[in-house]
Structures are given as structure tokens and as C-alpha cells.
Amino acid sequence: MRCHVRNKRKTGVRTAGLLVAALLSLLIWPGSASAHGSVVDPASRNYGCWARWGDDFQNPAMAQEDPMCWQAWQANPNAMWNWNGLYRNGLAGNFEAAIPDGQLCSGGHAESDRYDALDAVGAWQTTSVADDFTVTLNDQAAHGADYFKVYVSRQGFDPTSRPLGWGDLQLLTTTGRYAPANTYAIDVSTSGLTGRHVVYTIWQASHMDQAYFLCSDVDFG
């Protein structure tokens, strides 16, 4: 009889553990209630890693085919599942004071260091762009925007050998307000840029003082 009770208890504990694991998987899934948004074209680092590998993230081929995504998946898979959650609250627009050089792509170690691997220096996969291109942002929660700031790294900065700092950026545009929607398009123009660059987008949401910090790797050809 005692053995029977003990086995029932073990079964109950095991079942409870499976339920907890199932609930946690729902919480980190990108379509969950915590959804916010990111730049999807040219893809932000973590959105790109999720889009390319989300259904095959344990494939060892990633280490050779997409090594920067590989190191990011190994460091913290939740940074890709939560590709829409790289934000900071309450900065009041004081971005340079809050986010140190070398931490721009993680939003200054946002969300308890979840996104730190996005600051890693190396050959992230790029999106080909022309001098004039459009930054497209997906806003799953329809927060709206007080404004967007779009920067690009200066000619001569090499993101494969140096961490990104504020002094490496030039501002392309600061927009006005955007009404709540699921997609926003920001047209930007550059001149004289060639090769690999980083496009850095700051999205100041309208629903509260919440700012998103998004690195997209591009190639001007």
C-alpha cells in the first residue's frame, strides 16, 4: 500500500512538472500575449535569426552557415523566440546616457541580459539595400509610435571587428508620430555608402514610455 501511494505521488509530481514546462513554452513563444515588435526588413539581428532558424534551431549546420546566429541561439534562445521584446521602459529619450557604447544592439543589456549576444562582433548575415530604402517594422501589439529614429553606421566602421558605439552612427531621419497599426514603413536616404553597415532603429512607442533598440545588418553592395 505504501509503495502504491509513493508511486502515485511520483506520478503527480511528474505530471505537474510537464504542465509547468508546457506553460513556460507558451510564455516564451513569439505569438504570446507579451508580443510587441521589431524591424523585419532589413531584418533585425534576432528577428533574422528567428526567421531563418526558428523551425530548425538545433541544426548543427547553423554553426557554419550562420555562425553569429549560432552563437546567439546558444547564448539565449529566448532572445530569438522573443524577437519582439527588445525594449527598455522609462528612459525619457535619454538613450545615449542609458545605453553604453558596445551595448547598442542589446538595448543596454535589456530584459535581464537576454539579448546580450546581439552585441557580439562578427559577420552577421546582411540584407542588400540601395541608397534609398525602406525600414519596415512589425508592431504586433499596435502600440503606435511617438517617433522613430533611424541611424546608419558611418563609412569606414567595420561591424565585423569593432563593437557599435554612438559615435559610429549618423542619423538618417527622425519621424513624426505614427497611429497604432501592425506595420510601419520609414523611408530613408543615404549617399556614398558602400559595403557592410549597421542600421540602428529606435522606436519610441506611444502607449507608454517604452523604447525599442534594433540592429539590422545591411550591405550597400
Note whether 81 and 118 are same-domain residues.
yes
Share of the chain above pLDDT 90, in %: 84
Does one domain contain both 100 and 5?
no
Q: Would the pLDDT of 200 be above 50?
A: yes
Same domain, 1 and 102: no
Average pLDDT over residues 76-103: 97
User: Does one domain contain both 214 and 175?
Assistant: yes
Neighbours of 22 (CB within 10 A): 10
3-class SS string, the chain: CHHHHHHHHHHHHHHHHHHHHHHHHHHHCCCCCCCCEEEEECEEHHHHHHHHHCCCCCCCCHHHHCHHHHHHHHHCCHHHHCCCCCEEECCCCCHHHHCCCCCHHHCCCHHHHCCHHHHCCCCCCCEECCCEEEEEEEECCCCCEEEEEEEEECCCCCCCCCCCCHHHEEEEEECCCECCCCEEEEEEECCCCCCEEEEEEEEEECCCCEEEEEEEEEECC
- Please tell me whether residues 128 and 21 are part of one structural domain: no
Q: Is 101 found in the same domain as 1?
A: no
pLDDT per position as a tens digit, 150-177:
999 999 999 999 999 999 999 999 999 9
The answer to whether residues 148 and 201 belong to one domain is yes
CATH for 169: 2.70.50.50
For 8, the domain range is: 1-30
pLDDT band at 221 (very low <50, low <70, confident <90, very high): confident
Q: What is the pTM of this model?
A: 0.85
Q: Is the pLDDT of residue 88 over 90?
A: yes
